[in-house]
Homo-oligomer: A and B are copies of this chain.
């Protein structure tokens, strides 16, 4: 179909911008994380929990991607961090070009970690490299058992799968073992971490991943 051909053309240009993004964050030693998930899987809540845990320890910033609104940026600004809100005005994913523009508005030398919260969507964002060092996909247990099979690209391109909202696990028919099996089938090298930002379960391991990745960078 015509759209697919166009997406490829856009992607080639996207790769050039992704390279520039990567050069910039590398230059300043900022670890860049791209967070991907369906709408409402808990990306912003994870960031809030991360900011709470690491306040005063690391300097963190965020780029918030949404079709419309600046609600997420305002949620994170309360933590006194650097935040840029990107509105895609209808487009279902961020592009590296958008990130490049957002970086101009950030003081990179004052950051250790920079999180990109992509548009809530399990399809389109998976095809766009934003120049990130690591890609983290969230999947809430309330989304059901079958999502890894149905939307494989968001999962096989991830460095880490965070299975979120595990405080609700007992209310669903989801089995963590089965999710793990589905995940490792498409992505044998990825990390797999069940987590609840609400109860704090899995948070130390999540922060551990971030610190380990940051060390790789140095």
Contacts and interface: CB of A to CB of B under 8 A. Distances in A.
A68 interface: yes
Interface in A146-171: 146-147, 149-153, 165, 168, 171
Contacts of A10: 1-3
A66 interface: yes
A39 interface: yes
Contacts of A91: 1, 3-4
A122 to B, nearest CB: 5
B7 A143 contact: no
A103 interface: no
A90 interface: yes
B71 A150 contact: yes
Contact of A6 (B3, B66, B124): B3
Given A39-B143, A40-B140, A122-B39, A4 B69 contact: no
A50 interface: no
A140 B1 CA distance: 32
Interface string A160-194: 00000100100100000000000000000000000
A142 interface: yes
Contacts of A150: 39, 66-69, 71, 120
Nearest to A127: B90
Interface in A27-77: 38-40, 66-69, 71-72
Given A39-B144, A40-B144, A121-B123, 13 more contacts: A2-B6, A3-B10, A3-B91, A38-B39, A39-B147, A67-B150, A68-B150, A69-B146, A69-B149, A71-B146, A71-B150, A90-B127, A92-B123
27 contacts: A1-B10, A1-B91, A3-B7, A3-B10, A3-B91, A38-B39, A38-B122, A39-B122, A39-B143, A39-B147, A40-B140, A40-B142, A66-B150, A68-B152, A69-B146, A71-B146, A90-B127, A90-B153, A92-B121, A120-B122, A120-B147, A121-B121, A121-B122, A123-B124, A140-B142, A168-B168, A171-B171
